[in-house]
Structure 1
């Protein structure tokens, strides 16, 4: 096993994470494998399982609980052998990793998949090209980060908690973007929904995607679906924008006793049969910048902040969030991206969130020379952008997120300028903030 570690260590420099931003244009190729950025949602086989969040039903989900296999110095190998059914090999397969605890290199069946320097942010990987029917060896080489100078300190949690593999049909929902916002007249709500459908076959295929939405009181408000023809190994975006009447009676805002949330179900259909369901909860409202002030439905947000990172489990986290709310806090500010269930709890509890990228470089923050503060070291620009992208695509669909923070106070410079420009290019509404902008242009507040 020591030889396994040595071999993996020698291969670290050859590994590369393949990131992608497919959601910004239509008919994008999906030939890449490796790390991807998208909303964390599990597909379910039936509506009942989706509503109950019953992951184990339907055979789409496999928990990934690796064990430590060896350790040598500051490196270790953790892994597991998973039995992949034949049906999965005729679809697309993803791996979701959380709570890894260090930088890592991902290997599947002795093939390098990706390198990840960020130990804090949950990550997803497209792994279909590496998977085969039957036994599959998934290994992680846990190693020192190549960018320790920007890594935040993370709380200790159960290793690999909420890590898993899941399967989707080759004609399925790749990602989505959703918000329930005021219409131009400020009288009704509009469901702004963009579903990214994928066709993983090598030839053109028709894909039908749709949704339904229920009011917080349980009334069906709208149902729609649409068929789109997608070239082989590509994705395309299907957009819906129905009016949702009565939305102003169900305004979501922090501080309410029971914040009203609409239930939305995304689905696909093939030959009259529904193939997958994705359950969501959203609230009505949109955070916008007006003359340098964060506004929501015509009122300026009064943010009473508390620094907070999720506890080890949802139950403890929910109790602590309720305690913060009882103290008069209405906004939580984590130090780095959190598990998806954290944002869901904030939606349900009625707390705003200012999400923060996993960037923390306090040393030399005042050294603005090139290569002084890490934030002004162009050699780290790609890693800064990777972490900001990872934050944004994970939490963009949660109502509670009212602003994005580029990172902990870490000085300013080229990398933070590029991070701000990218985030502003994809985020049309919510403010982008940075506490160490020091009067420069790369912060909205």
Structure 2
């Protein structure tokens, strides 16, 4: 059966052999800009290249994670195949040389057919890979007409099912490059480092190389030269500027000396074991999609460096080449991943999967070849990855074999090879802490172990990063991993960020594309701040009379850091100074005496910060890299209320500053403020992680009816100096519940509530939260507290919260997760002042304050669904259930689960007199 070129299985036609990406002093012309465009032979208009047509008014994006949005019958695609014609007329510069030239496309999604001046050049496949065509003989001084017909679907779509928006077009740069006769056709730099001798060895293939700083001049191809150098690492990305050249062309290069090896099952770089504190990075921008402007690629790298990220897996395709230049310059270990994923075949038990079909072999190897040849000269790339979630088969094995033969200097990665038949590292995604522990003990496969994806950063979370870090430190062969993922792929639309289904897609995976450590506009989420703290490269702890400063760097010392301390009593600074820390080598520690402090009343905390002594390329001097807190003085106890006020009787009950409803026992007024509550609250708006997994917490909570609890008043007991309200709180249609006894006492202008809760019956599930909820006047919109902060914190994601005194507004307490959910919890508050109402804990409580209810938050699907009400809703919690990462990974660890059990809780309210 014949079929069109769109459905051919070959890698494309007409292209030149792949080569390294480089710029040179040869003439070049960018063809980016405004092109003529029409979709499906409609009317001609214009479009911006690079760009996606779906984001410029033509059709709509669609999101699926695994499922192909078309019938699976490879290599065939639907006849209804959106097709965009792109046309550009351009002139050559007056001084354009009469030399060979190539037309370069850095990315066309998914298949392009190209003509220049009415001559067909060929067909492209491999959307996120470069293609070059020889065009020198076709060029004219003016009026050149370049036409590119791009099809949304092609046979290549079966290899590009990469958990992202389906969007089409010429989305990376288009360039015309003069290729002078006798110029640099291609080159490969070999720059290894011997950590024993300190010598770097330089060799280049394809042309001569000159490195003035090393006094290397005109080193001939195939000749090697060894000399003392500073090695390149993610911690100290030392680059030597050089030139690869012939008599007619000069190519500027940046050379980093480093050696990747595997020794006794441990991955080493420059002789030292490395731990990947990494992220998976899709290319995304909320307005431009995968056509990411350079300044945003730079923003990604700067944010990563500032938050202690040291590694990137380029999921699930090679990035724009500029991103790899940034990784070389700023220092990030990179797993460069091929443009390959066939995940949708999993739904068919992998029947028909191209990975083991010999007809697809050349397409598989071609994709690997184009990546490796393009990116081979980057020191930041330390592993090659064959792709993602494509099961296994002979074509993947062929890719690995070709790669090892072409570049033996880097190990090969691929998570899908569970038996490790053709890879050099054992890789898994979302393995539980327990399983990682076992892999570390067993040294499974005798290889380095890497979690290529872990700690799914969807919505509020991820929880459990600390416990993963402990495993990375416990076992030498367990060498870190890559958080899924870097950025939420939200698209700007109608005042919010859109996700799957928002464009009317009949088949979609909802907000599963919103799973990053930064929001779509690149604002860091609480998850990124937690990552920065958990994986900080310096650990600062107290050991009796000393402060322990431990280095977790793989290579560098702490010489670039300065250490300062602040001593606070009850959150107020009483002393500060610099800490003199001796030299500490990578992996070592020093114990430094505590500073001499004069006694101060109140709860005392010493905070020690490690910050950059001088500005770097990625942060200013003073940027905090790591910090630790040491408790030096215990808290003062709250003055107890023994119950000296008399309970007043009448149309209302009153006790001190509180007025109560005599029928329900509910507090209705507190001083001058009308209030509703407080009463027992067990519900939270489920997080993405609550909603995830095969047995989601949310389902159990809703089946148990925890989102619609009913309160029955058993007794309102008026005593002489106390008010006792006994209630039973339970869901409809079930027999289990919670007995909640409120014991109110007063003293002058203070009103104390002691709450006792006792489970009644057999509880079928964990609790979302355990605490109190009340409604306050909307005017109480400022917040100050002494406790953990400044940001949100939960049971298994609270390392970044420090003890101090913080202030905020109610609005600023909210975390605007793209898909609204539980957020904004502040932990371990000793006291809270909301407006001029003070609340004290015995000893501490958690709190959230927001202008909408948990039910409003639960019902919302986008941030602009949340409309402020005329109250502030305040939760005062004894505890909340942990977060986990069950949206794609393990759930909440046992120690962070909140069970129904007997508990007591007390707070004191002090309204203004």
Counterpart position of 1:174: 185
The alignment status of 1:96 with 2:104, answered yes or no, reads: yes
Cα 1:428/1:14, change in 2 over 3 Å: closer
Counterpart position of 2:124: 116
Counterpart position of 2:15: 34
Once residues 386 and 213 of structure 1 are traced to their aligned partners in structure 2, the CA distance between those partners, rounded to angstroms, is 33
Which of 207, 211, 220 is equivalent to 1:213?
211
Which of 364, 376, 395 is equivalent to 1:396?
376
The C-alpha deviation readout for 1:86-121, integer Å capped at 9, x for no partner, is 975732211121343332112222222221222222
The 5-angstrom pairing of residues 246-257 of structure 1 reads 247=229, 250-256=230-236
TM-score (norm 1): 0.75
Counterpart position of 2:336: 355
RCO higher in 1 or 2 (8 Å CA, sep ≥ 6)? Answer: 1
Cα 1:378/1:399, change in 2 over 3 Å: same
Once residues 160 and 147 of structure 1 are traced to their aligned partners in structure 2, the CA distance between those partners, rounded to angstroms, is 16
TM-score (norm 2): 0.38
Which of 180, 190, 202 is equivalent to 2:201?
190
Deviation at 1:11, TM superposition (A): 7.0
Which of 296, 302, 311 is equivalent to 1:322?
302
The alignment status of 1:420 with 2:400, answered yes or no, reads: yes
Which of 238, 242, 262 is equivalent to 2:225?
242
The 5-angstrom pairing of residues 156-167 of structure 1 reads 159-167=170-178
Which of 146, 149, 153 is equivalent to 2:158?
149
Cα 1:70/1:367, change in 2 over 3 Å: closer
The 5-angstrom pairing of residues 316-395 of structure 1 reads 316-335=296-315, 336-365=317-346, 372-395=352-375
**Contact 2:333–2:380 (Cα < 8 Å) also in 1:** yes
Once residues 74 and 413 of structure 1 are traced to their aligned partners in structure 2, the CA distance between those partners, rounded to angstroms, is 32
Deviation at 1:437, TM superposition (A): 0.5
Once residues 398 and 268 of structure 2 are traced to their aligned partners in structure 1, the CA distance between those partners, rounded to angstroms, is 26
Cα 1:277/1:105, change in 2 over 3 Å: same
Cα 1:157/1:303, change in 2 over 3 Å: farther
Deviation at 1:10, TM superposition (A): 6.9
The C-alpha deviation readout for 1:26-78, integer Å capped at 9, x for no partner, is xxxxxxx6243111112215xxxxxxxxxxxxx44343446243321611211
Counterpart position of 2:254: 281
Once residues 7 and 170 of structure 2 are traced to their aligned partners in structure 1, the CA distance between those partners, rounded to angstroms, is 25
Counterpart position of 1:22: none
The 5-angstrom pairing of residues 49-128 of structure 1 reads 59-65=27-33, 67-72=35-40, 74-84=82-92, 90-128=98-136
**Contact 1:100–1:119 (Cα < 8 Å) also in 2:** yes
Deviation at 1:171, TM superposition (A): 1.1
**Contact 2:335–2:381 (Cα < 8 Å) also in 1:** yes
Q: Which stretch has the larger CA shift, 97-106 or 85-94? A: 85-94
The C-alpha deviation readout for 1:199-244, integer Å capped at 9, x for no partner, is xxxxxxxxxx533214xxxx35211165xxxxxxxxxxx3231223
Instruction: Kindly report the root-mean-square deviation, in angstroms, between the aligned alpha carbons of the 2 structures.
Output: 3.0
Counterpart position of 1:136: 144
Once residues 158 and 147 of structure 1 are traced to their aligned partners in structure 2, the CA distance between those partners, rounded to angstroms, is 14
Larger radius of gyration: 2
Deviation at 1:367, TM superposition (A): 6.6
Once residues 208 and 158 of structure 2 are traced to their aligned partners in structure 1, the CA distance between those partners, rounded to angstroms, is 45
Deviation at 1:265, TM superposition (A): 1.0
Q: Which stretch has the larger CA shift, 394-403 or 162-171? A: 162-171
Once residues 34 and 293 of structure 2 are traced to their aligned partners in structure 1, the CA distance between those partners, rounded to angstroms, is 19
Once residues 254 and 168 of structure 1 are traced to their aligned partners in structure 2, the CA distance between those partners, rounded to angstroms, is 34
Once residues 225 and 262 of structure 1 are traced to their aligned partners in structure 2, the CA distance between those partners, rounded to angstroms, is 15
Cα 1:159/1:82, change in 2 over 3 Å: same
**Contact 2:280–2:313 (Cα < 8 Å) also in 1:** yes
Once residues 17 and 366 of structure 1 are traced to their aligned partners in structure 2, the CA distance between those partners, rounded to angstroms, is 25
**Contact 1:99–1:161 (Cα < 8 Å) also in 2:** yes
The alignment status of 1:263 with 2:238, answered yes or no, reads: no
Which of 43, 50, 74 is equivalent to 2:24?
43
SS in 1 for 2:108: coil
Q: Give the helix-richer structure, 1 or 2.
A: 1
Deviation at 1:428, TM superposition (A): 1.0
Once residues 115 and 353 of structure 1 are traced to their aligned partners in structure 2, the CA distance between those partners, rounded to angstroms, is 30
**Contact 2:6–2:111 (Cα < 8 Å) also in 1:** no
Once residues 412 and 444 of structure 1 are traced to their aligned partners in structure 2, the CA distance between those partners, rounded to angstroms, is 15
Unaligned segments of structure 1, at least 5 residues: 1-8, 20-32, 46-58, 196-208, 227-237, 270-274
Once residues 101 and 10 of structure 2 are traced to their aligned partners in structure 1, the CA distance between those partners, rounded to angstroms, is 19
Once residues 136 and 16 of structure 1 are traced to their aligned partners in structure 2, the CA distance between those partners, rounded to angstroms, is 29
Counterpart position of 2:411: 431
Once residues 130 and 337 of structure 1 are traced to their aligned partners in structure 2, the CA distance between those partners, rounded to angstroms, is 30
Once residues 197 and 188 of structure 2 are traced to their aligned partners in structure 1, the CA distance between those partners, rounded to angstroms, is 21
The C-alpha deviation readout for 1:276-305, integer Å capped at 9, x for no partner, is 221111212111233443221211222122
Deviation at 1:368, TM superposition (A): 7.5
Once residues 164 and 106 of structure 2 are traced to their aligned partners in structure 1, the CA distance between those partners, rounded to angstroms, is 12
Cα 1:123/1:320, change in 2 over 3 Å: same
**Contact 2:10–2:360 (Cα < 8 Å) also in 1:** no
Deviation at 1:263, TM superposition (A): 0.4
Deviation at 1:125, TM superposition (A): 2.7
Cα 1:294/1:125, change in 2 over 3 Å: farther
SS in 2 for 1:175: coil
Cα 1:36/1:66, change in 2 over 3 Å: farther
The C-alpha deviation readout for 1:138-168, integer Å capped at 9, x for no partner, is 2111012223221135667995543210102
Which of 407, 421, 441 is equivalent to 1:441?
421
